[in-house]
Structure 1
């Protein structure tokens, strides 16, 4: 039987298939979208880091310019104080001017000042007399430079320190040079300090050297008014001035981060090569800095242009790691997203799983970005200073925790309000409104050239002193402001307490000095009364005996005469201590004087004491009263003899000594100059410190009653000081005592022929 044909089996209809290129196209679009998002996020992070770097640069640049301005203001005050010290006269003793210079300690506290000097006006008809007078002071080579007649002649008559390069400027007529003359005329006509343009200082010796400038302060004659231009020109007698070397002036101004910035200072408003005064470093040739800042500062009426560029070391601090991390993360996520899309288009289940994993990664990435933003917010919230961000329209957009504490407004209360209405006193709002309007347009304002001290209102209406540092924040609607506000009340209170403390110390020193003076006067009065009372007792007793006796009383009269001589000697010693005794100075060779006193000194010392004399062959002469000096030496030898009760050696050493200004630490209290020293040394028991402190007091003695008056050393101290010299005492217990006398050198080379030593 035939098998029937099987029925045909229906075939399955194939599902429609996507084009082969569609998954790749979707993956490419997803990857491109991820790259676009990554670019936007990375660009925003880079701009944020660049804005922070620019804000830091602007703050430090403004602080550098403000530091230069403050330093020049301090130097202007130094010249103003020196002008007041002169009291309307340029005729000042060189020693007094040197002591004033040492008191200022300019080398320690005022870097850059090459010297402090006085330029005096010399009338044309008195040039020869002026030169002769200066040479008579000891400057034998003094002359006005450059020579020749001029309508106005000036000369540097005093300059400190008087050594080294400054000797080249001594006698120089600065009015003869146009740049210096312009500044001197400006100071004369305005009555204020004036600075010169760019010059090479005379101290450089014409060998180039670093650029510099000079600052002048006029000195008007005392008693003359100088309230008008004609009056000031008529009253001018000279100038106080200071030369500056720019490299020395700027030394240490940048602190430990000086290499971060390239600082250039130009004389005038145009930053040209000829006007360059200072450049902190050479930098790489042809390198274009990432950040630049330019401003002007006033230097005693002279405008300087300050240009500051960022250096590679500073630019390297730009945080690029976050941007790179975002870019790498975005690229990786884009590749994952493209893979997910490709898999989704080809296999839905796998794509769904990968999409879920991708979602987790994206969420983690978003969390990291949110964490970074939160970190920045926490930094601002915990900052020491109050942080305020202001939109171009003046509305507050950010307000940290320190701002809440400082001003009393919560963040939700402050954000959105006008900063001027909230924080600025009503009397200052108009000026600040104009400043912020300019800032919104150009990113700069004249009131905000650096950290600015001003006042701000708290919530309760109290005005407090603050310091504000602002940085522009570019937006599409103009420049916003990021401001750090610091409460400076503690700083001002500390400064006020320090001022009060210093005032208290000065009052205490003055009270102590008055007490010491009263104690010394009391001791002097008691000693004088005691000795004169003894003398009067002698005179009174002898007069009473003469009244009761019938003889001629010659012996009594001799006793009275002896008492009168003792009173005369006491009065002479008191005059010597008070530096009021009449002196008859002569040019004396000390070696010859002591050789003529040899017999007298040995007789006074006694047989048990040996006197040794040492002196150089080329000993200088001194100008001194020889008779009074003999009395001083005799007293010193007798004191040495009494200190060595069992005998010993007394050494008298003569020497030439030159004291430079740099030797002030080795010779405290002795003015620089040339001296001849007399050192009298013994090998006695020495003195303890408390006795040394009182050794020069009148009527103070450690000798037994009747062995001394206590006026020997005080008379020697007064005589040496009256002769223009100094006296020093050095002693240790058990090691002996040395008394050293410093007598100024006489300019004459030969002793006065009128001096004839008193025979002994």
Structure 2
């Protein structure tokens, strides 16, 4: 049978378009998987950065909250002024003014623990019962080497009554914190305890914070001195659930917070766990651990991410990319399949596919831009460092902090750009270890360091880092915070405390002089009365013509010297009769010019600085002349061999807020009279006794030691103040503050007559 020639002609395989379509669909799926994975990693990195920021901020909030409570206890210790014998009503009023429930949530109470002297338990109990507490007793009963008792607690109601009379020193954990506070002079917190206030139902973990109270006027600069001076403690009990309530704000459900007492997060050390608990058997995606200081007691803070936070991981972009990729794969496969039969239709479909791919790319680019904008607007400087140490990311805050633009910083070595030369080797070793292992002991938590700005200045910063996994090793993403404001605030607080200590020392010296003044005042009055009697009798005897006249004259001379001494004692005691009048100090000093130069001598130069608009003062001019003359003579004696004396007058207004600048001086308007010399100056021990009567550094027979004490008494009696400033080898300045007179015209009797 003949065969048709068409049966042997070549034909295209029918399955080839389908095979090409499947290969195109597979290629589209591979590309989709890579793009979706990259988007998912970007979203995960964003979630991790957000979690770390919130966790660090939460740990910082806990640290700041405990610092505030420590300041409350320190302020209460200052309110007691070295004594725990404060009345219940006075302490209740102080507690009410603090408004602790409104301002400082979490403080269960504010109390005072009194140290009971050995052998004084019965007397202490009797005194407390007599003060209005008939059922008062120290618990637990029994004899112990050291006894203490809670003698004041506010609010004095409810479960706080269980702590009234409790001996905290009887419990080891509380005793350890009380001893630490006593020996260091600083606040100290206990470990985990159950508060006495707990009644069994709804019991919470808690702790207590103590601040020591030392006896007023007794030194406490050494451990032995502090143990001898301790009279009690100011303390506050805390219930952990109440203390941490509201800490996370409206985002509290995003994080689970655990706080452990000590450096190890063990179950028995657990103090607090937030209500946002994890489901059973589910491990958190993110975890952050750090330590905070609670008045000398280390707390470990562990933060976990919750399902609510992890649900914020934006998977919609990934799903959209996957669906788009699958759809595009189908379209691509269809296009390839149609290419064999209908090229025109395939081209139309390819054009639609191109539009879809462009839209997908735009969405990915928009997501990347959103992440970049978040980092650019962050509060802290953000720096990303590759495993080789070169900078890859640099946000706007980093530009402001260090002065380098982004294009100038990216690509530079981070250590060479930002760290001082002496510290680079140590940090380089740390970053090399971090690049290999993803960890470094030096960067275990927020780390303080010195960083260089563009102009070469070193500034203090705090660095918090997170590891970033790359194919070359572990990179670094670092948030850098400028801590200069915090350092400056700490320095200002140190200076304020230093000025307060100086004010306390000045107050003690003033009280000492006041006591000596009262004593010498009584002695001077009696001595003066006796001298009046002797003087009268001697004058009567002088009228007789016998051979004892010469001896009586000597007696009369001694009486005059005694009267002068009594007048000086009266001046120091502020009991001398004064005749104040309105005086212009510029005119008074002008009248004394010749006398002052004669008293100073030819080898001493006197420089007077008197402003033209000087106020008038109300003072006894004769006594003021004696004081000024005495100060010039003292200055002359201090400059053995010649020198310069400066007399400076000025108007000064002391405002109520200037008590740190002018400690011990009441607010008001004053005219100051300052006498300065260029002599040898005084050491601190001599300055402390300079105003004491009969104290002098001059040789015997060269001075009575009453000059400065008489000046002190006269100025205080006139309503003014006197200040002494001196440095060995730099001279001495005595400044007198005299209150301004309301009258504008001085007394005519003390206006100098023109020559």
Which bracket does the TM-score occupy, shorter chain normalised? 0.5 to 0.7
Q: Cα distance, 1:42 vs. partner?
A: 0.5
Query: What residue ranges of structure 1 are gaps of 5+ in the alignment?
Result: 1-7, 501-760
The equivalent of 1:269 in structure 2 is: 263
Q: Does the CA-based 8 Å contact 2:206-2:237 persist in structure 1? A: yes
Q: Helix, strand or coil: the match of 1:34?
A: helix
Q: Cα distance, 1:332 vs. partner?
A: 0.9
The equivalent of 2:149 in structure 1 is: 155
**Alpha-carbon displacement from aligned partner over 1:273-302 (angstroms, at most 9, x marks no partner):** 433221220535404322222222222232
Q: Helix, strand or coil: the match of 1:241?
A: strand
Listed as ranges, the matches of 1:215-230 within 5 Å are 215-222=209-216, 224-230=218-224
Q: Helix, strand or coil: the match of 1:202?
A: coil
Q: Does the CA-based 8 Å contact 1:63-1:450 persist in structure 2? A: no
Q: Does the CA-based 8 Å contact 2:276-2:306 persist in structure 1? A: no
**In the alignment, does 2:327 pair up with 1:332?**
yes
**In the alignment, does 2:233 pair up with 1:242?**
no
Q: Cα distance, 1:206 vs. partner?
A: 4.3
- Rounded Cα–Cα distance in structure 2 between residues aligned with 1:148 and 1:171: 13
The equivalent of 1:139 in structure 2 is: 133
- CA change 1:196–1:492 in 2 (3 A) is closer
Which range moved further: 207-216 or 321-330? 207-216
Which range moved further: 238-247 or 482-491? 482-491
Alignment TM-score, normalising by the size of structure 2 = 0.58
- Rounded Cα–Cα distance in structure 2 between residues aligned with 1:442 and 1:109: 45
1:392 to 387, 392, 407: 387
- Rounded Cα–Cα distance in structure 2 between residues aligned with 1:494 and 1:218: 24
Q: Helix, strand or coil: the match of 2:197?
A: helix
Q: Cα distance, 1:157 vs. partner?
A: 1.3
2:112 to 98, 103, 118: 118
- Rounded Cα–Cα distance in structure 1 between residues aligned with 2:57 and 2:31: 39
1:213 to 199, 203, 207: 207
- Rounded Cα–Cα distance in structure 1 between residues aligned with 2:388 and 2:460: 25
- CA change 1:9–1:166 in 2 (3 A) is closer
Q: Does the CA-based 8 Å contact 1:201-1:213 persist in structure 2? A: yes
- Rounded Cα–Cα distance in structure 1 between residues aligned with 2:381 and 2:295: 35
The equivalent of 1:202 in structure 2 is: 196
Q: Cα distance, 1:217 vs. partner?
A: 2.2
Listed as ranges, the matches of 1:279-290 within 5 Å are 279-281=273-275, 283-286=277-280, 287-290=282-285
Listed as ranges, the matches of 1:302-451 within 5 Å are 302-344=297-339, 351=346, 354-355=349-350, 357-377=352-372, 380-381=375-376, 386-401=381-396, 403-404=398-399, 406-426=401-421, 429=424, 433=428, 436-437=431-432, 439-440=434-435, 443=438
Q: Cα distance, 1:155 vs. partner?
A: 0.7
- Rounded Cα–Cα distance in structure 2 between residues aligned with 1:273 and 1:258: 22
The equivalent of 2:176 in structure 1 is: 182
**In the alignment, does 2:47 pair up with 1:53?**
yes
- Rounded Cα–Cα distance in structure 1 between residues aligned with 2:78 and 2:478: 42
Q: Cα distance, 1:202 vs. partner?
A: 1.3
- CA change 1:377–1:91 in 2 (3 A) is closer
- Rounded Cα–Cα distance in structure 2 between residues aligned with 1:70 and 1:393: 37
Q: Helix, strand or coil: the match of 1:213?
A: strand
- Rounded Cα–Cα distance in structure 2 between residues aligned with 1:280 and 1:9: 90
Q: Cα distance, 1:15 vs. partner?
A: 5.8
**Alpha-carbon displacement from aligned partner over 1:133-184 (angstroms, at most 9, x marks no partner):** 1112111111101111122211111222323322221111111123222322
- Rounded Cα–Cα distance in structure 2 between residues aligned with 1:363 and 1:344: 22
Q: Cα distance, 1:334 vs. partner?
A: 1.3
Q: Does the CA-based 8 Å contact 1:269-1:305 persist in structure 2? A: yes
Q: Does the CA-based 8 Å contact 2:403-2:454 persist in structure 1? A: yes
Which range moved further: 248-257 or 399-408? 399-408
**In the alignment, does 2:71 pair up with 1:71?**
no
**Alpha-carbon displacement from aligned partner over 1:639-676 (angstroms, at most 9, x marks no partner):** xxxxxxxxxxxxxxxxxxxxxxxxxxxxxxxxxxxxxx
Q: Cα distance, 1:58 vs. partner?
A: 1.0
Q: Cα distance, 1:457 vs. partner?
A: 3.9
1:27 to 5, 21, 43: 21
The equivalent of 1:255 in structure 2 is: 249
Q: Cα distance, 1:483 vs. partner?
A: 3.8
- CA change 1:477–1:237 in 2 (3 A) is farther
Q: Cα distance, 1:475 vs. partner?
A: 1.9
**Alpha-carbon displacement from aligned partner over 1:540-589 (angstroms, at most 9, x marks no partner):** xxxxxxxxxxxxxxxxxxxxxxxxxxxxxxxxxxxxxxxxxxxxxxxxxx
- Rounded Cα–Cα distance in structure 2 between residues aligned with 1:423 and 1:253: 35
Q: Does the CA-based 8 Å contact 2:278-2:306 persist in structure 1? A: no
The equivalent of 1:98 in structure 2 is: 92
Q: Helix, strand or coil: the match of 1:308?
A: strand
- Rounded Cα–Cα distance in structure 1 between residues aligned with 2:494 and 2:121: 48
Alignment TM-score, normalising by the size of structure 1 = 0.58
The equivalent of 1:570 in structure 2 is: none
- Rounded Cα–Cα distance in structure 2 between residues aligned with 1:405 and 1:213: 43
**Alpha-carbon displacement from aligned partner over 1:677-731 (angstroms, at most 9, x marks no partner):** xxxxxxxxxxxxxxxxxxxxxxxxxxxxxxxxxxxxxxxxxxxxxxxxxxxxxxx
Query: What residue ranges of structure 2 are gaps of 5+ in the alignment?
Result: 496-755
- Rounded Cα–Cα distance in structure 2 between residues aligned with 1:237 and 1:147: 21
Q: Does the CA-based 8 Å contact 1:59-1:469 persist in structure 2? A: no
- Rounded Cα–Cα distance in structure 1 between residues aligned with 2:485 and 2:298: 34
**Alpha-carbon displacement from aligned partner over 1:493-539 (angstroms, at most 9, x marks no partner):** 99999999xxxxxxxxxxxxxxxxxxxxxxxxxxxxxxxxxxxxxxx
- CA change 1:85–1:367 in 2 (3 A) is closer
Q: Cα distance, 1:392 vs. partner?
A: 2.5
- Rounded Cα–Cα distance in structure 1 between residues aligned with 2:46 and 2:116: 59
- Rounded Cα–Cα distance in structure 1 between residues aligned with 2:135 and 2:102: 31
- Rounded Cα–Cα distance in structure 2 between residues aligned with 1:434 and 1:195: 37
Q: Helix, strand or coil: the match of 1:480?
A: strand
- Rounded Cα–Cα distance in structure 1 between residues aligned with 2:222 and 2:342: 98
Q: Helix, strand or coil: the match of 1:290?
A: coil
Q: Helix, strand or coil: the match of 2:66?
A: helix
